[in-house]
Amino acid sequence: MKILIAADNGVRKEHFETAFRELGKVHDVKIIEVDRSIPFTPTTSSEKIIREYVGSPRQLMQEIDGADILVVNYAPVTEEVMDASKNLKLIGVTRGGPVNVDLQAATKRGIFVVNAPERTVDAVADFTIGLMIAEARNLARAYHMLKTGKVLKINPRLFGDAVIQGIELPGKTLGIIGFGRIGRAVAVRAKAFGMRILAYDPYVREDEMKSCGVEAAGLERLLMESDFVSLHVRLTKETEHMIGEKELKMMKKTAYLINTSRGKVVDEKALYRALKERWIAGAALDVVEEEPISPTNPLLDLDNVTITPHIAGLTQEVPLKSA
């Protein structure tokens, strides 16, 4: 059996070497590294379907001949790549969503596609709780005040003024939008903090949520009652801008929005207004609509938002889980 593996910065060559060490003793395993310097402009219909990829299909097309199995992380897998190996039977994608693979083309050719939905569950769930605490306790703002010397202006007898006084998580309500693997992992962690948990997901049964110790709620009720609203949905036509002006105005003025899913799930212009005009207390974002974030993005000028560069799923453990 011939296996072609395309490594990249997300899952590096050494991770695949470790994971495939035993298989490599009995099968022909070849590991290449994705060449990010190869220019690629999507032109075919298959190339235009895929997204969130790194590299060019041409590199895979040159290497894949005779391969029975193709394993990728971010490398683009189009129908042209599939047709370059008549033996191809399986495509393994070492990420949660195989959006860099033309699934319709694979189905049409009888090629199985498998992914790794569990790989970032713990990493993203941990990070989500971290963002909640960072926003609730003003960690980033307190550090900035300390670094810039502003904290010296605060009367020490008051233990800080209202700018850095935070809130506690026990007894607060967390609203989880999207009750899949990550949403459930966040719920487990939040319960340990003594939080009340509401969840909205039209594709998950109420009794299933109840068995997880979570109360099912409609979207409007969740937004109105939650002290924290955390997003854990895939980006689809249904979820794009599902949080906009209307939804943000439903939230409590003391509430925080947490987004570790995809930037386009939130209408960023509406969010900017919500933060600037204090419709809500604050937000913590690991994702934005256009990434990498522009230095001129107006969100960066606000003092009630914490932004990180899409790193929720980046831990030392994730690549090994993926491979």
Query: Which residues are the active-site residues?
Result: 262, 291, 310
The HSE-up count of residue 240 (CA atoms within 13 Å, CB side) is: 3
Give residues with Cβ within 8 angstroms of 165, minimum separation 6: 138
Cβ atoms within 10 Å of 1's Cβ, excluding its own? 13
CA distance 323 to 319: 6
CA distance 9 to 75: 11
CA distance 215 to 260: 21
Widest CA span in the chain: 75
Concatenated DSSP letters for 105-116?
HHHHTT-EEE--
Rounded to 5°, angle at Cα 49 from 48 and 51: 90
